[in-house]
């Protein structure tokens, strides 16, 4: 047995993805939250990659039965670069640390951190003979899934909020996949996707706890060991739903299970960043902190009503994953950070000047968060920091124009 799924609510084992799909992507107890397990997980032996496909490289620890079913554009094994400008900024503040940036903007698929999730999903769906799939997305996931499922010969329907960037709509339609644009926001798009799923019996992405998304992104923990020789002590990213922090923790547990890291190894401190125009997780965290984290604090959150952000992929106004992500952040000794959206072009210009690199606004949210983390004393001498950046500059022409003024 290569893998199985286990329900996170009742603990029941689901033998494989064929069964999971037959059960409408849920356990018999009704829960849609399950994790992939590898009962015979062994230490992974790193070697020189033969190509850039993470699925081919990590085939033995992914829920794929045959390599011939892998759907890939050569994504996933992207570099973790040392960024001297960030290290220099920290040093000027008296902090001696190493800083790595995980460059999702140079992924070979659609150029975003959603590519590895879409690649694994397309591969598993192809292997199981699935013909159609749907998803609600603010942009990056929609483009990635449209691209990979088109290559797999699977029809994909994207349900998008009315704030989606036109460039993303064009990218999805360019690969021959349909886009349904809601008259409302992301919440409306999710409801429309769920209705389509029920009415037409089409499989749907399970959102931020989808086992296919978690399982692909968990490999970031392995990539840290392969490229850096260690896990970071600090992990940073811009956050909307929070799949990547959950996945990193899953990868961390897998590394412990097979003995690749010590049983008492500490989880990287998670510093998760949101822009002030859409910051419901930060707001909830601040209230919990001020109250001393009373019983049930993780359930105390509210949807942000007035969304003025221009960063389409960070418009999760209702932080439904907060009850899972926030306790993880607290266990790691981390926190949530807020940056000012109006200041992001400044940081984009700094990145371009220092690194000759331009990324999309969601990536710059994380980048700006690093400066704030240093200023606030959240990064210490001796830390190894990893910034997980989301997407490239072509995701938002308006931001690129502001940076290049």
- How does DSSP classify residue 343? G
Predicted TM-score (pTM) of the model is 0.94
Mean pLDDT, residues 310-328 taken together: 91
Would you state the structure tokens that stand for residue 85, as one six-digit string?
């400008």
Nearest to 47 by CA among 58, 36, 62: 58
The set of residues, in sequence order, having a beta carbon less than 8 Å from that of 104 and lying 6+ positions away, is 78, 111, 112, 113, 115, 363, 388, 389, 390, 391
Give how far Cα 226 sits from Cα of 47, 48, 49, 234, 348, Å: 9, 10, 11, 17, 29
Distance CA 138, CA 193 (A): 12
142-179: b (≥16 Cβ within 10 Å) or e: bbbbbbbbbbbebebbbbbbebbbeebbebbeeeebeb
8 Å CB contact between 329 and 335 = yes
pLDDT, mean of residues 246-262 = 96
Question: Do 240 and 365 contact (CB within 8 A), yes or no?
Answer: no
* pLDDT, tens digit, 9 for 90 and up, residues 279-294: 999 999 999 999 999 9
As a residue count, the chain comes to 405
Alpha helices, H only, 356-396: 361-375
Express each pLDDT in 21-37 by its tens digit: 999 999 999 999 999 99
* Residues in CB range of 117: below 8 A, 6 or more apart: 141, 144, 210, 212, 213, 216, 217, 243
Determine how many CB atoms are found less than 10 A away from the CB of residue 44: 18
pLDDT for the residue 22: 96
Could you read off the pLDDT of 190-216 as tens digits, one per residue?
999 999 999 999 999 988 899 999 999
Query: Cα–Cα distance between 259 and 105 in angstroms, integer?
Result: 32
Tell me the pLDDT of the chain averaged across its residues: 94
Give the up-direction half-sphere exposure of residue 97: CA atoms within 13 A in the CB hemisphere. Answer: 29
Tell whether the torsion through CA atoms of 136, 314, 104 and 330 is positive or negative: negative
Least confident range of 4-8, 312-316, 377-381? 312-316
- Phi first, then psi: give them for residue 194, nearest 5 degrees: -65, -40
- Which pLDDT tens digit goes with each residue over 45-95? 999 998 889 999 999 999 999 999 999 998 989 889 999 999 999 999 999
Query: How many angstroms separate the CA atoms of 379 and 133, rounded?
Result: 42
Sheet containing 34-37: which strands, arranged edge to edge?
13-14, 4-7, 34-37
* The pLDDT of residue 129: 97
Number of H helices, E strands in the chain: 15, 13
Q: Is the pLDDT of residue 391 over 90?
A: no
Looking at domain 80-106+212-403, which CATH architecture does it have?
3-Layer(aba) Sandwich (3.40)
What is the percent of the chain with per-residue pLDDT over 70, rounded to a whole number? Answer: 100
Distance CA 218, CA 223 (A): 9
Q: What is the pLDDT of residue 306?
A: 78
- Residue the block writes with tokens 């308006």: 398
Q: Which of 71-85, 97-111, 228-242 has the lowest mean pLDDT?
A: 97-111
Of the listed ranges 40-44, 63-67, 387-391, the least confidently predicted one is: 387-391
Phi, psi of 112 (to 5 degrees): -145, 170
**106 band by pLDDT with thresholds 50, 70 and 90:** confident
395 pLDDT higher than 80: no
DSSP output for 244-305: HHHHHHHHHHHHHHTTSS-TTPPPPEEEEEEETTS-HHHHHHHHHHHTT--TTGGG-----S
Contact status, residue 30 vs residue 15, Cβ threshold 8 Å = no
> What distance in Å separates the CA atoms of residue 210 and residue 187, rounded to the nearest whole number?
18
Give the containing element (helix H, strand E) for 125.
Answer: helix 115-127
Confidence label for 6 from pLDDT (cuts 50, 70 and 90): very high
Say if domain 43-70+111-211 classifies as CATH 3.40.50.1100. Answer: yes
Q: Where in the chain is the domain with CATH 3.40.50.1100?
A: 43-70+111-211, 80-106+212-403
Max distance between CA atoms of the chain, in angstroms, equals 59
């Amino acid at each position: 047995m290569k893998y199985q799924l286990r329900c996170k609510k009742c603990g029941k084992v689901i033998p494989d993805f064929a069964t999971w799909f037959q059960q409408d992507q849920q356990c018999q107890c009704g829960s849609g939250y399950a994790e992939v397990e590898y009962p015979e997980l062994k230490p992974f032996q790193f070697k020189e990659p033969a190509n850039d496909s993470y699925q081919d490289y990590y085939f033995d620890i992914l829920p794929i039965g045959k390599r011939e079913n892998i759907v890939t554009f050569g994504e996933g094994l992207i570099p973790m670069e040392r960024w001297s400008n960030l290290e220099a900024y920290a040093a000027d503040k008296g902090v001696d640390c190493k800083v790595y940036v995980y460059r999702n903007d140079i992924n070979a698929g659609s150029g975003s951190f959603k590519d590895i999730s879409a690649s694994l999903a397309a591969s598993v769906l192809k292997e199981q003979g699935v013909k159609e799939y749907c998803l609600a997305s603010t942009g990056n996931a929609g483009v990635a899934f449209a691209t990979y499922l088109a290559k797999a010969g699977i029809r994909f329907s994207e349900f998008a909020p009315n704030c989606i960037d036109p460039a993303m709509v064009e990218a999805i339609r360019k690969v021959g996949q349909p886009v349904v644009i809601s008259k409302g926001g992301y919440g409306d798009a999710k409801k429309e996707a769920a209705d389509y799923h029920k009415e037409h019996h089409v499989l749907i992405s399970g959102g931020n706890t989808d086992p296919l998304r978690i399982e692909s992104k968990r490999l970031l923990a392995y990539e840290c060991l392969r490229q850096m020789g260690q896990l970071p002590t600090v992990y940073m990213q811009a956050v909307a739903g929070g799949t990547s922090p959950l996945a990193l923790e899953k990868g961390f547990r897998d590394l412990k299970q097979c003995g690749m890291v010590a049983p008492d190894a500490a989880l990287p401190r998670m510093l998760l960043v949101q822009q002030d125009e859409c910051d419901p997780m930060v707001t909830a965290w601040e209230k919990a902190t001020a109250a001393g984290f009373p019983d049930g604090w993780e359930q105390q959150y509210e949807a942000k009503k007035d969304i003025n952000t221009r960063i389409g992929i960070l418009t999760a106004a209702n932080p439904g994953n907060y009850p899972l992500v926030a306790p993880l952040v607290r266990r790691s000794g981390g926190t949530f950070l807020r940056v000012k959206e109006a200041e992001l072009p400044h940081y984009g210009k700094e990145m371009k000047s220092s690194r000759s690199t331009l990324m999309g606004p969601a990536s710059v949210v994380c980048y700006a968060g690093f400066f704030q983390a240093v200023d606030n004393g959240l990064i210490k001498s001796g830390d190894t920091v990893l910034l997980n950046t989301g997407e490239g500059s072509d995701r938002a022409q308006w931001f690129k124009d502001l940076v290049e003024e």
